[in-house]
Structure 1
Amino acid sequence: MSPPPAEVPPGLARYAALDQRLLAAVRPIRILPTVAWPASLEDRMIGDYAAGRLALPQVRYGPPDLSAARAELVAIEREAGHEDPLGDYLCRTAESWRIAAEMLEAAGTAGVTAPSIVLYGHPGDLIPGSSKSNLDAARYFVDLADELGADLLADEVAGTIAAEQLRGELAQTLDGFFGAGVIAVEVDPELTAKAAAGATRIRLRGGTTFTDYDRHQLLAHEAYVHSLTALNGRAQPLLASLARTSPRVTATQEGLAVFAELMSGAIDISRLKRISLRILAIDMALRGADFVEVYRFFLERGQSVADSFHSAQRVFRGVPPTGGAVFAKDNVYLSGLLAVHTFFRWALKQRRMDLLRHLFAGKLALHDVVALEPHFTSGAIVAPRWLPPWMQHVHGLAGKLAFSLFVNRIHMGRVQAEELSLGL
């Protein structure tokens, strides 16, 4: 198990107290449960859609009253101030939770759209360091996957793993990495997602089967990023909130998790296509496409009826299914991946591998890793106890990043096949 948290450094106790107030204030703010659809509705509608009966879903939401939470978050923002990086961290985090509260209070209306875009980004946002947008990147990966599709079929794993068998395999691996019993692996027949991870528990959906690729992805994405950063965050002596994913760190957390898949070889072009299609679907819905049109978009691109329904559902969680409104969270997977990849390359160029290690000290945004550096140096924020396997081999990571830094200087538009063949 993790060691007990150290003492809060003298002079910083007020930030620790504000952080505790922050955690108490955000307890009733439950983003995904508030916008989730009833499982019974999903099952019935998937059956209807499979039979060709396409109708707009009728979903009722229960918007919570979060006025007390919002008032307390405003007070925390005011009291934290921006004089110290810790205060700035608390202000930014409290603000993001306040925006999330406003979003949830609008559940069932188009009023969810604007705050969700503030929190999770817009398909048209530019990629850091580029003139291309998230939407441009999404189109690129979808087109590339379509071009390679016929060649990818042979790479698919034919065998399947039952949930109970996978539970045992994951438990054994995680016990060996984190220690016996630190992270429990459970099979949950009521889980709607295929898998879900917390600090001390990973759940697998019962009654389904998994591929060997799924196993590698669950380890890289869920266990060695989401669970790992939560455990490291729990060990922080000053900022207990680093164990919890605030809305403002969602893009970094999900981007880091997908980046981990990339670094550990647990991602393929089909996965990139799936997360890219979601961005195209968000853009469609923002431009007026309704639920049925978005469903057909996924279906026409090779997804099954159930997967197409669930993919469309992700876009319309918490908003009317009639078009023009979205829940923008799925924007973060690709945009976060691109931002994290750029950050890793930048840190390598600056010879700052320490910043990359600090990224795993808790649920941090990329901004936090740089801004909070003085408190990492002082020890007020402690270095991570655990790092993913691929981060423990610094020379291998540096080799991959150094290679990508150099080859990015090669302009593919200037490359001719004849030159390549003559050069060998």
Structure 2
Amino acid sequence: MNSLNPELQHCAALDQRLLAAVKGIQILPTVAWPASLENRMIADYAAGRFALPEVNYKRPDLAAARVELAAIERETAALGGDPLGDYLARTAESWRIAAEMLEAVGSDGVSAPSITLYGRPGDAIPGSQRSNLDAARYFVELSDELGADLLADDTREGITAEVLRDEMARTLDDFFGAGTVKVEVDPELTAKAAAGAARIRLRGGAMFSDYDRHQLLAHEALVHTLTALNGRAQPLLASLGRTSPRVTATQEGLAVFAELMSGAIDIARLKRISLRILAIDMALSGADFVEVYKFFVGCGQSPADSFHSAQRVFRGVPVTGGAAFAKDNVYLSGLLTVHTFFRWALKERRLDMLRCLFAGKLTLHDVVALQPHFESGAIAPPRWLPPWMQHVHGLAGKLAFSVFVNGIRMGKVHADELSLSV
């Protein structure tokens, strides 16, 4: 640290203060529902006994954290516009907004800050005149036309959490080194899986399919865990090892993009992601928990999956309608934006920037703005890259093909033209 110039030393000190300030800010644990409530109500709903869930939240006192984060935001102004200062200011601001959101948990006061952090379904997709809601409707309609039946997919699930845990542990030991990442079964986990730098959790009692297995490896392990480990190894900014609220869209978009590039995504997965966006829009428009649950059932999901999907929309907010926890809005918009960024990097002959995405928990903006610090070595290159990123020629081939074919307007293509042309 002493070998750094004064400006970098100041950034490193602010970064350490930021990490200390956010230590008590736990977004998903604060808005989580107890598994015991879920299990009981899933059984009731499956039997047709509908009542709105009663969820009690413990509101954290994050006043001290908010004051410190605001102070860090002010102090970054002294860095004279350096991109590291901008990174710290944006990161501190997102954590401060998250703290305000969590202090309102259980009320409709969660909606506005969650939308600030994760976006609204009607937001425009960068580079397009279409919205995230338009994209969600498109993928749902396409899935239905192709006959992707989510309920049928559920019946093919036959891998227990314990079996998947053992399989993933062996794979990750081979990739990261023995004991670097633990895989555990957690009966209290709301999501089907969750990943940190040193631990991946699977929901106890859940059954997994072959697609789940490939998706969890590509998405959770080889993006979320991988970027956390690379971030922890950073010499200057230790915060790159922690997922700040502002990086959620890029992180989730990159993780779903990894599923796409590694062949681990199917149309039913895109439908599930898209349905959650439609459900957020429904909840914000006034639909209550039961109405959203019935929406998922009507779209082909099982009672258990429908309950879990609806629960994701109503985490931390009243279940009576008019409010939503907007995090699931980022998966599709993030995927589309990351895909566009990869295509842009190919067009600009900047595939080196794509590797930088994996150096820690970064946004697309960060990757571009922090290039001087990547070039100087202040920010280290990633130690680990997912397998599909290690083969640059193959990646470039896929991107080059997509860049070209995206210029073909499908509205002007007719079947008779295609049949006569080959």
TM range (shorter): over 0.9
Paired AA for residue 170 in structure 2 = Q
Kindly report the root-mean-square deviation, in angstroms, between the aligned alpha carbons of the 2 structures: 1.7
Paired AA for residue 250 in structure 1 = T
Query: Which residue is 1:71 aligned to?
Result: 67
Q: Quick one: structure 1 residues 133 and 291, their matched pair in 2 at CA, closer, same or farther if it must change by over 3 Å? A: same
Query: Which residue is 1:3 aligned to?
Result: none
Distance 1:208 1:155 in 2: 14
Secondary structure of the residue aligned to 2:140 is helix
> Residues 307-353 of structure 1, C-alpha deviation per residue, up to 9 Å, x if partnerless?
11111111111111111111100001001101100100001100001
| 1:179 equivalenced with 2:174 (yes/no) | no
- Please list, as runs of the form range in 1=range in 2, the aligned pairs for 1:17-28 lying within 5 A after superposition: 17-28=13-24
How far off its partner does 1:157 sit?
8.9
Aligned with residue 49 of structure 2, among 39, 47, 53: 53
Paired AA for residue 406 in structure 2 = N
Query: Which residue is 1:140 aligned to?
Result: 138
* Counterpart contact for 1:263–1:390, Cα < 8 Å: yes
Secondary structure of the residue aligned to 2:248 is helix
Secondary structure of the residue aligned to 1:186 is strand
Paired AA for residue 264 in structure 2 = A
Paired AA for residue 15 in structure 1 = C
* Counterpart contact for 2:247–2:361, Cα < 8 Å: yes
Q: Quick one: structure 1 residues 351 and 8, their matched pair in 2 at CA, closer, same or farther if it must change by over 3 Å? A: farther
Q: Quick one: structure 1 residues 304 and 151, their matched pair in 2 at CA, closer, same or farther if it must change by over 3 Å? A: closer
Paired AA for residue 301 in structure 1 = C
How far off its partner does 1:209 sit?
2.9
Of 104-113 and 360-369, more deviation after overlay is shown by: 104-113
> Residues 112-157 of structure 1, C-alpha deviation per residue, up to 9 Å, x if partnerless?
1110000000101101100000000000000000001169999999
Query: Which residue is 2:127 aligned to?
Result: 129
Number of aligned residue pairs: give it: 419
TM-score (norm 1): 0.95
Paired AA for residue 142 in structure 1 = V
- Please list, as runs of the form range in 1=range in 2, the aligned pairs for 1:208-287 lying within 5 A after superposition: 208-287=206-285
Q: Quick one: structure 1 residues 359 and 7, their matched pair in 2 at CA, closer, same or farther if it must change by over 3 Å? A: farther
How far off its partner does 1:174 sit?
1.2
Secondary structure of the residue aligned to 1:364 is coil
How far off its partner does 1:206 sit?
3.0
How far off its partner does 1:227 sit?
0.4
* Counterpart contact for 2:33–2:190, Cα < 8 Å: no
Secondary structure of the residue aligned to 1:202 is strand
- Please list, as runs of the form range in 1=range in 2, the aligned pairs for 1:261-340 lying within 5 A after superposition: 261-340=259-338
Paired AA for residue 217 in structure 1 = Q
Secondary structure of the residue aligned to 2:147 is helix
TM-score (norm 2): 0.96
* Counterpart contact for 2:148–2:267, Cα < 8 Å: no
Secondary structure of the residue aligned to 2:185 is strand
Secondary structure of the residue aligned to 2:146 is helix
Q: Quick one: structure 1 residues 71 and 293, their matched pair in 2 at CA, closer, same or farther if it must change by over 3 Å? A: same
Query: Which residue is 1:9 aligned to?
Result: 4
* Counterpart contact for 1:163–1:187, Cα < 8 Å: yes
Distance 1:416 1:152 in 2: 31
> Residues 390-419 of structure 1, C-alpha deviation per residue, up to 9 Å, x if partnerless?
000001111111101000111111111111
Paired AA for residue 67 in structure 1 = A
How far off its partner does 1:47 sit?
1.7
Of 174-183 and 184-193, more deviation after overlay is shown by: 184-193
Aligned with residue 101 of structure 1, among 99, 104, 109: 99
> Residues 6-64 of structure 1, C-alpha deviation per residue, up to 9 Å, x if partnerless?
87632311110100000010111111111111222212211221121111112222211
Distance 1:330 1:293 in 2: 18
How far off its partner does 1:186 sit?
2.1
Distance 2:33 2:352 in 1: 42
Query: Which residue is 1:164 aligned to?
Result: 162
Secondary structure of the residue aligned to 1:196 is strand
Distance 1:147 1:388 in 2: 33
Unaligned 5+ segments in structure 2 are none
Distance 1:59 1:219 in 2: 32
Distance 2:165 2:229 in 1: 20
Of 159-168 and 242-251, more deviation after overlay is shown by: 159-168
Secondary structure of the residue aligned to 1:106 is coil
How far off its partner does 1:238 sit?
0.5
> Residues 232-262 of structure 1, C-alpha deviation per residue, up to 9 Å, x if partnerless?
0011011000000000000000000000000
* Counterpart contact for 1:39–1:192, Cα < 8 Å: yes
Query: Which residue is 1:374 aligned to?
Result: 372
Secondary structure of the residue aligned to 2:75 is helix
Distance 1:211 1:272 in 2: 16
Q: Quick one: structure 1 residues 161 and 374, their matched pair in 2 at CA, closer, same or farther if it must change by over 3 Å? A: same
Q: Quick one: structure 1 residues 151 and 296, their matched pair in 2 at CA, closer, same or farther if it must change by over 3 Å? A: closer
> Residues 158-211 of structure 1, C-alpha deviation per residue, up to 9 Å, x if partnerless?
462233322222122111111111112223333333222111111223333322
Distance 2:177 2:308 in 1: 35
